[in-house]
């Protein structure tokens, strides 16, 4: 097995599993919790845990712009702020430079903007803040999933539940679903966000060390779409369960008020 935790072909051929015991198509355990924070500054929230990766997202809005010059007369403006906790990195630290949240901000904004029904909120502002508290790989996809459900929790209209997933190709002719940080360190990795209900790709991001042939890229897209569809089922179930709990609490409150 590779000493740094990267994918090892010989190890897989010998034991039929990746270094952490998963199969090639097996994602890490996904845990989703909506409504984790609520205040006058937070209208919707969601925490996502995928393996060791932990991401929290808070949504605010729709609100009025502080400056009229920032308004869009026919749609809302989506602002995204993202930060990494100083202790977010997993594994050996190769330098003192902290991770920059600007790439994550752009990824979350570009993935969610096509799904947001912005025309329903003219001249309004919607804000999302994402915090990565632990990054063991797949933080971008986890952030997109958390931010999308934070909008759902805030009651913001979307075209559907946005689901994101990551696949990697550490070596030629081998594709891993949901690679961790060590596995994604070599080869290439593809993050993809989509609307599973329509099979529509919203955003992709390919990173890695080596060029890909067109057929290899198409294969990665297909695997990522399939993985994202499965993630989307879990996200939709979590959203429905959350709404059901809120309805039950509301009905119990009304019954208690009538009984007084």
Q: What is the CATH number of the domain that holds 122?
A: 3.30.230.70
Domain hosting 250: range is 9-259
The lowest-confidence range among 124-133, 151-160, 245-254 is 245-254
Residue 76 lies in a domain: yes
Residue 4 lies in a domain: no
pTM as predicted: 0.90
- Structure tokens belonging to residue 109: 């904004």
CA dihedral 41, 123, 116, 53 (to 10 degrees): -30
Q: What tens digit of pLDDT does each residue of 174-201 get? A: 788 999 888 888 788 999 999 999 999 9
Q: What gap in Å lies between CA 121 and CA 98, rounded to an integer?
A: 36
Tokens 């958390």 found at = 146
> What is the number of residues in the chain?
260
Q: State the pLDDT at residue 28.
A: 94
Q: What tens digit of pLDDT does each residue of 195-223 get? A: 999 999 999 999 887 677 778 888 899 99
Residue 188 lies in a domain: yes
Residue 13 lies in a domain: yes
pLDDT at 50 over 80: yes
Residue 2 lies in a domain: no
Tokens 């051929």 found at = 13
Residue 181 lies in a domain: yes
Residue 120 lies in a domain: yes
Structural domains of the chain, count = 1
Residue 50 lies in a domain: yes
Q: State the pLDDT at residue 10.
A: 65
The lowest-confidence range among 10-14, 54-58, 67-71, 130-134 is 10-14
Q: What tens digit of pLDDT does each residue of 66-117 get? A: 888 888 889 999 999 999 998 888 755 544 344 668 999 999 999 999 999 9
pLDDT at 61 over 90: no
Closest CA to 145 of 169, 131, 129, 162: 162
pLDDT at 129 over 80: yes
- pLDDT confidence bin for 51, thresholds 50/70/90: very high
């Amino acid at each position: 097995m590779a000493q740094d935790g990267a994918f090892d072909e010989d190890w897989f051929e010998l034991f039929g599993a990746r270094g952490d015991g998963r199969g090639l198509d097996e994602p890490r355990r996904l845990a989703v919790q909506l409504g984790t924070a609520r205040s006058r500054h937070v209208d919707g929230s969601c925490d996502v845990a995928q393996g060791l990766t932990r991401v929290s997202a808070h949504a605010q809005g729709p609100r009025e712009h502080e400056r009229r010059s920032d308004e869009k007369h026919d749609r809302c403006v989506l602002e995204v702020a993202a930060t990494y906790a100083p202790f977010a990195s997993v594994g050996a630290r190769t330098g003192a430079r902290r991770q920059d949240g600007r790439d994550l901000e752009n990824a979350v904004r570009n993935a969610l903007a096509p799904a947001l029904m912005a025309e329903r909120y003219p001249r309004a502002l919607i804000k999302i803040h994402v915090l990565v508290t632990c990054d063991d790989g797949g933080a971008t996809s986890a952030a997109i999933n958390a931010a999308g459900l934070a909008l759902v929790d805030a009651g913001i209209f979307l075209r559907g539940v946005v689901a994101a997933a990551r696949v990697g190709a550490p070596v030629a002719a081998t594709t891993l679903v949901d690679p961790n940080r060590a596995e994604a360190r070599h080869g290439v990795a593809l993050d993809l966000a989509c609307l599973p209900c329509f099979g529509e790709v919203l955003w992709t991001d390919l990173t890695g060390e080596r060029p890909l042939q067109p057929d290899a890229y198409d294969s990665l897209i297909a695997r990522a779409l399939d993985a994202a569809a499965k993630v989307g089922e879990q996200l939709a179930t979590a959203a429905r369960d959350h709404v059901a709990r809120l309805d039950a609490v509301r009905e119990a409150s009304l019954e208690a008020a009538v009984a007084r």
